[in-house]
Amino acid sequence: MMTPLAAAKAYATAQKSMGVGDGLGAGASLGSAAPMQGGFGDMVKSAITDAMTASKTAEKQMASQVAGKTELIDVVTAISAAEASLETVMAVRDQVISAYQEIMRMPI
């Protein structure tokens, strides 16, 4: 089970890897930061696209292995990468649903 702190760290890491929010480090003010390129929706779209790409790569590696054109370790690596991407997307989805449910429980 993913904790909220782990989810926040994963979100921050994803933002840094995409170059989103680089100007908002410690000591930086919100007014001096450059405008944010994209947002949460773009990050989710990118994560899903990466997961789909990893899955397709794994499928191609499996087909190549069946044809005898690639090594088994390449197939295992591609499958592992696809699994990690899918687990990341599912963890983000679970945290978004959890946050939505928490917001819906808040009194108006």
Q: Is 34 left (phi over 0), alpha (psi -120 to 50) or beta?
A: beta
Q: Is 14 within a domain?
A: no
If one counts the domains in the chain, the total is: 1
Q: Is 96 within a domain?
A: yes
pLDDT below 70 — which residues of the chain? 1-8, 11, 15, 17-37
- Note the pLDDT of residue 33: 44
- Note the pLDDT of residue 26: 42
**Structural domain that includes position 45:** 39-108
Q: Is 27 within a domain?
A: no
- Note the pLDDT of residue 47: 84
Q: What is the value of pTM for the model shown?
A: 0.58
